[in-house]
Structure 1
Amino acid sequence: MPREATLSTNEREFILEALRQDKRLDGRAFEQFRSLELSFGDEFGVVDVQLGRTRILVRISCEVVIPYPDRKFDGIFTINTEFSPMASPAYEVGRPNQDETILSRILEKALRRSSALDTESLCIIAGAKVFSLRADIHVLDHDGNLIDAACAGLLAALLHFRRPDVEVSGAEATIFSARERQPIPLSLLHHPLCVTFSYFDGGVISVLDATQAEEQVREGEVIITMNRHGEVCQIAKYGGVPVDALAIIDWTNKALVKVKEMHKIIVATLEEDAKKRNLGGLMAELSAENDR
């Protein structure tokens, strides 16, 4: 069975000893993230996320379906993760591993179960027609901290996506294409983001945005999901040695600072993309008028 190349004993001891001396291999501070870069595709809802050498592609798609019988007034939102073999030798197509399972669960709780997306706004005709949103998350390159990068990419993709405009007349619904009417942005009630703390030496040492090498050495991880208003959506801890409750409180305060920083980056990138699209539309109209 394929697996990731493991660190040697000397490499593990070197990383741990460096952390004990307040140093990381890439020279970052313990609470410093790598550079977060977002680039949007030509389609709405397509986002390429790069966090250091970790790279993830997120795509939002939409279709009209019949709602669930017990939720007639709610649209449908599903999240699908795919780990490509090009991201890591440990991943195989069609064989989900532990990383993929954890990532799916965290994102489900962070964005779907926290009601970040207003699913009632996706309803067209109660009990008959609703919009079904599907988020496809493709891991292209894995160099640690997949959860934080994927959550930032998914939130950015939802903010960037536009659904078709709809006109309802009685029991009939007309769905307009992008050429007929301007698509409509989604209704997001809040913007949750994940911050992962990797800890060592029983929680005495903790770092943010761990690389793949640091993840192989850590004793455990704590994922804190919250929005920029300081509202905690979830705190998840998978295995590892126990950590002190006071450490969790301290990490929550630090997570809020990072959430605000990431949110600013996402908003700024969205504004830049909107300006480019508006400029392109205006220039296209002017050129078409000149041609006539």
Structure 2
Amino acid sequence: MDSRLANTWRLTVNERKFIETALLSGIRIDGRNPYEYRKLSIKFGREDGSSEVQLGQTHVMGFVTCQLLQPYRDRPNEGTLAIFTEFSPMADPSFEPGRPGESAVELGRIIDRGLRESRAVDTESLCVLAGKLVWAIRVDLHILDNGGNLVDAANIAALAALLTFRRPECSLGGEDSQEVILHPPEEREPLPLIVHHLPIAVTFGFFSSESIMVIDPTHHEEAVMAGRMTATLNANGDVCAIQKPGGEGVLQSVIMQCLRLASRTAGDITKKINDAVEAYKTERASSKIKRHPASIALEGIGSGGNVKGKQNLSLNLRV
């Protein structure tokens, strides 16, 4: 991915020189050191499968939905996972409304490659009826504010939404056991997706002056950098994908350094995602208990605890 994912900020010559001079001194204009990530905030909506991620000034929302479709012929026992991105003109003046542009498609492909090629989501568990019906999972990513490094923010939003999404439980019935019965959430608790690991995308920016490298570039840095590379790793240090488009060439030693930094960063981000998801699940369970208080009513209890006459016993408790 090149400057197509960077916004069209028109920096003056003095602004460009100021950014590059500061980087030569090991200082970034936002006060971070070259290998420091911006502040990350992860929130969730009221419905399962919705997330809101803020990375510095970059703001992304993610939504996960599902529907029953026919599987691909070459994979009759596997469900599908698709990533779609939407760039709002309010996020950046260079984003045009309407059909997704090249930058939106490329952003979706980078996130999709990290998720699918590493088989992070168990697609076999999405099979309902082999060769006939499987769950198709769709992740929609909405860019609300482009403050730089859209890839990492959108990737985190997609993972957080997938971890909190729940699909309806279904069973097979009918005379030939080929009829799919969808159970509403009031009848059966929806099921979460099976996610084996979290592929975390970590983006690096490269500058022509003395091979300067930074992690998590801002929109100002994207406007002057000469190239970028996105490494997708999980908390175990396994490399899931690497994206290096055109631009300045990168030495092998620099790539290995990026992978070491990305591995450490992936572990930190994974912990933040898991902590946010656990807090969301705890709050969700607590709200369900409040909505469905336990109530027990017994009538006609005689002496010695014997039940006489009419008895009404009801217990309504969902966790």
What's the TM-score bracket when you normalise by the shorter of the two chains?
over 0.9
Q: CA deviation at 1:22?
A: 0.9
Gap regions ≥5 residues in structure 2: 1-6, 298-315
For 1:273, what is the secondary structure of its paired residue? helix
Q: 2:193 is matched with which residue?
A: 186
Q: 2:312 is matched with which residue?
A: none
Q: Percent identity?
A: 39
Letter in 2 for 1:166: C
Q: Distance in 2 between matches of 1:230 and 1:253?
A: 8
Q: 1:5 is matched with which residue?
A: 9
Letter in 1 for 2:101: N
Match of 2:41 among 16, 19, 37: 37
TM-score (norm 1): 0.94
Match of 1:280 among 287, 298, 302: 287
Letter in 2 for 1:257: R
Q: CA deviation at 1:249?
A: 0.5
Match of 1:22 among 15, 19, 26: 26
- The 1:288/1:92 distance shift into structure 2, 3 A limit, reads farther
For 1:11, what is the secondary structure of its paired residue? helix
Q: Distance in 2 between matches of 1:232 and 1:66?
A: 32
Letter in 2 for 1:11: E
Superposition RMSD on alpha carbons, in Å?
1.8
Structure 2 matches for 1:86-235, cutoff 5 A?
A: 86-169=90-173, 170-201=177-208, 204-235=211-242
Q: Distance in 1 between matches of 2:49 and 2:95?
A: 26
Q: CA deviation at 1:35?
A: 1.0
- Contact 1:202/1:219 (8 A) holds in 2: no
- Contact 2:64/2:137 (8 A) holds in 1: yes
- The 1:289/1:207 distance shift into structure 2, 3 A limit, reads farther
- The 1:203/1:98 distance shift into structure 2, 3 A limit, reads farther
Q: CA deviation at 1:72?
A: 1.1
- Contact 2:206/2:248 (8 A) holds in 1: no
Q: Distance in 1 between matches of 2:283 and 2:144?
A: 26
Write the deviation string for residues 27-55 of structure 1: whole angstroms up to 9, x where unpaired: 01111111111111111110011001100
Q: Distance in 1 between matches of 2:241 and 2:146?
A: 24
Q: Distance in 2 between matches of 1:258 and 1:153?
A: 16
Letter in 1 for 2:240: C
Q: 2:246 is matched with which residue?
A: 239
Q: Distance in 2 between matches of 1:288 and 1:106?
A: 51
Q: Distance in 2 between matches of 1:201 and 1:35?
A: 27
Q: CA deviation at 1:96?
A: 3.4
**Greater C-alpha Rg:** 2
Q: Distance in 1 between matches of 2:136 and 2:268?
A: 31
Q: Distance in 1 between matches of 2:171 and 2:134?
A: 13
Q: CA deviation at 1:74?
A: 1.0
- The 1:167/1:86 distance shift into structure 2, 3 A limit, reads same
- Contact 2:20/2:209 (8 A) holds in 1: no
Q: 2:272 is matched with which residue?
A: 265
Letter in 2 for 1:234: A
Letter in 2 for 1:118: D
- The 1:216/1:288 distance shift into structure 2, 3 A limit, reads farther
- Contact 1:155/1:191 (8 A) holds in 2: yes
Q: 2:77 is matched with which residue?
A: 73
Residues matched between the structures, number: 289
Runs ≥4 residues deviating over 3 A: 95-98, 287-290
For 2:292, what is the secondary structure of its paired residue? helix
- Contact 1:203/1:244 (8 A) holds in 2: no
Q: Distance in 2 between matches of 1:273 and 1:146?
A: 24
TM-score (norm 2): 0.87
Q: CA deviation at 1:289?
A: 7.5
Q: CA deviation at 1:286?
A: 2.4
Q: Distance in 2 between matches of 1:76 and 1:95?
A: 23
Letter in 2 for 1:102: E
- Contact 2:85/2:100 (8 A) holds in 1: no
